[in-house]
A and B are shown apart, each in its own frame.
Chain A
């Protein structure tokens, strides 16, 4: 039974839940079974924001899982919080242009990307999370680029129509993100 468990964690304001929503929406439209739990707490502001996503071919049982197949960490505090979701079968991806340290956990592999740096230097700080979405898309490898693009149109289409250059920018960010993982050879 194919099931991909994803943990996506960063600081509030990094847009973690927005890309999780695009990802799960894309999965849903592609006919997959999906289960998405946004973390929410009393101190929603300023805390670590975590999205737990599952994409599967068959009905999903447990809503929360112990270990993720893909665990993405976008800040030092996300690293501290999320190593508990990692085991020897997990792929860990962290942003070394945001984090000041490397995750110290036993994983199948630990990959560093520089989404933040690329966003700032080559594209725009605003599309940082879309680069991460591209990373996630290649790392999970269960959805097609067209699925994600459709979901992005659903979420951002109005903004794109108002400012067509935004569409190009976002798609470019998405593809650059995918390229980061392909380079890492996963």
Chain B
């Protein structure tokens, strides 16, 4: 058992990467496998610095391919293991993530997005949204939480472990370079004090000592039909559990004439914009999906249907918008877009855009 560092509510002023390391400890994570990459390095640094106190484990691997696969190994051996990565590291970790998807391995990974494609920038972006939701040669049987600040990082990192172990789909906490590197106040707590019980972990490989038949787990199938039978089951299960997992946040969306749809930290800028727009007499509101996989489709459709116009805004070229548009098919609400690839969106950016939409309504 690892030693938990946070036993009572503690308000701290931390960087996001530090928060994630503390959250993983609070969730009783026992092992981190990882490879350095900016902007997630300090998750590892913090985890390593705390090791004498937490008595947890750490392995720095030779790259993200092995970070991903050794995380899988740790999980199969019955440890609550996790990893973290970003950008090009997330790209080459798709190999392991894809295996986790096929083999229903409770893989937990924090993704701190940076600019892309390729090495691009080490700073900030929302360009790993599609990759994190649908990477690999599969169908996206993954659960993805998109966070918008330090309290989210703490809450959802803890939650990610339980979601992964309860439903056995790979689970991601999708954040970004700003969240990793910025400092803001956050309240750390012992999950038990919030009624959160950690789902027990168990080993697939080893440790049975005759108490169960041996396990044979695989990811290869001979026949097309054999594969489809398995995937159909996965899909059915994913659809069935989705309502339990879906999360979203509405901000002044009830009577919004212009509904802004944004995720992650851009949604925070949108909240600033909504307040400023309302002060100017423009009825703006926000719909923020917290789970990007699965999306909370029903409330999303309802909010879009109520609005006169929709604005999609992202630090990417519409990666969320694509996913949302598919789910609101058939609705007639016109939309505009404000996309800044790999660049932060500010409240002012959104205010100006919405003002122009009010003057000249969207037609698409």
Q: Which residues of A contact B (CB under 8 A)?
A: 1, 24-25, 28, 33-42, 60-67
* Contact bitstring B251-267, A, C-beta under 8 A = 1, else 0: 00000000000000100
Contacts of A35 in B (CB 8 A): 182-184
- 5 A–B contacts, CB within 8 A, in A order: A37-B182, A60-B184, A63-B179, A64-B344, A66-B346
What A residues does B179 contact at CB under 8 A?
63
Which residues from A are CB-within-8-Å of B149? 63
Give the number of residues in B that approach A within 8 Å (Cβ atoms): 27
A40 to B349, CA, bound (A): 22
A34: chain B residues within 8 A (beta carbon) = 13, 183-185
* Known contacts A64-B344, A65-B347; A37 and B181 CB within 8 A of each other: yes
Smallest Cβ distance from B188 to chain A, in angstroms? Answer: 15
**Which residues 139-185 of B sit at the A interface, judged by CB distance below 8 A?**
149, 177-179, 181-185
The smallest C-beta distance from A61 to any residue of chain B, in angstroms, reads: 3
Tell me the bound Cα distance from A24 to B38 in angstroms: 23
Shortest beta-carbon contacts, A-B, top 3: A61-B272, A62-B269, A66-B348
Are B182 and A33 in contact, with the CB atoms below 8 A? no
**Interfacial residues of chain B within 314-364, with CB under 8 A of chain A in the complex:** 344, 346-349
In the complex the two chains form, what is the Cα distance from A162 to B351 in whole Å?
52
User: A27 — nearest CB in chain B belongs to which residue?
Assistant: B13
User: What residues of chain B lie closer than 8 Å to A62, measured between beta carbons?
Assistant: 268-269, 271-273, 346-347
**Which residues of chain A have C-beta atoms less than 8 A from B177's C-beta?**
40
Q: Is the interface of A mostly helix, strand, loop or mixed?
A: loop
Q: Which residues of A contact B190 (CB under 8 A)?
A: none
Q: How far is the CB of A71 from chain B (nearest CB, A)?
A: 15
Bound Cα distance from A23 to B179, whole angstroms:
20
- List the B side residues contacting A28 at CB < 8 Å: 13, 185
Is A63 a contact of B123 with CB atoms below 8 Å?
no
Note all chain B residues with C-beta closer than 8 A to A39. Answer: 123
Residues of B within 8 A of A36 (CB): 182-184
Residue B198 lies at the interface, judged by CB distance under 8 Å to chain A: no
Complex Cα–Cα for A85 and B182 (A):
19
> Is the beta-carbon distance between B271 and A61 smaller than 8 angstroms?
yes
Residues of A within 8 A of B272 (CB): 61-62
Contact code string B93-108 (vs A, CB < 8 Å = 1, else 0): 0000000000000000
B39 touches A (CB below 8 Å): yes
List residues of chain A with CB within 8 A of the CB of B273: 62
Contact A40–B347 (Cβ < 8 Å):
no
Residue B46 is within 8 A (CB to CB) of chain A in the complex: no
In the assembled complex, how far is the CB of residue A110 from the closest CB belonging to chain B, in whole angstroms?
21
Q: List the A side residues contacting B38 at CB < 8 Å.
A: 40
